[in-house]
Chain A
């Protein structure tokens, strides 16, 4: 069964304290692994797409990496405005997109 699991459920960091969010996936024929940011009461905002193991992408304080079983979203020196829920999603060979439950990130000043 296709599955996407994110950990931890919630993460509390001090401003400047770098960390990583994990997304483990089991899907048939991965077509793409996506990271989104979602603020409360809003739709997800696209961050990254990764297509193959070994691929990395960066945007400001965020860096996404991909292996054959998982993806990491690294946050370097986070700021309070990085507080949000980060969603991981995988599109299967059958073009179905499955979302993880998300990691709620809280960054304290």
Chain B
């Protein structure tokens, strides 16, 4: 199998606080993990790509100091939204590419709905 989990599934926080989202590959080791955000009725926008043990590569326009990514092991990556504001409210989805598998094939987590009040 290729199961990816995310925690939490939903989070509501106050403006100015930080929120951490975990992404885990449950039954495989992930060479690379990806973080996306998705606005209602829109497609997935890649935010950053992370490889275990190295710094994440951020897409243009994504603030690396605001969206901190840590890829601590081959099965865990975390996204921390620092000093969250209402405009950060979105659906955040992670995906993972299997170690030893095709880089191209990504397995997605169920997503995390972030609401910033």
Q: A residues within 8 Å of B by Cβ? A: 31-32, 34, 36, 41-46, 49, 87, 89, 91, 95-97, 99-102, 104
Give 28 CB contacts A-B under 8 Å. Answer: A32-B105, A34-B104, A34-B106, A36-B108, A41-B91, A41-B111, A41-B113, A42-B111, A43-B4, A43-B6, A43-B93, A43-B95, A43-B109, A43-B110, A46-B105, A46-B107, A87-B44, A91-B103, A91-B104, A95-B104, A97-B34, A97-B46, A99-B43, A99-B44, A99-B45, A101-B43, A102-B43, A104-B41
**From A95, which residue of chain B is reached at the shortest CB distance?**
B103
Q: Which residues on the B side are within 8 Å of A99 (C-beta)?
A: 43-45
Q: B residues within 8 Å of A by Cβ? A: 2, 4, 6, 34, 41-46, 91, 93, 95, 102-111, 113
Asked whether A49 lies within 8 Å of B104 as measured between CB atoms, the reply is yes
CB < 8 Å A-B pair total = 53
**6 pairs of A and B residues whose beta carbons are closest in the complex:** A43-B108, A32-B104, A99-B43, A101-B43, A99-B44, A43-B111
- In the bound assembly, the distance between CA atoms of A97 and B105 in angstroms comes to 10
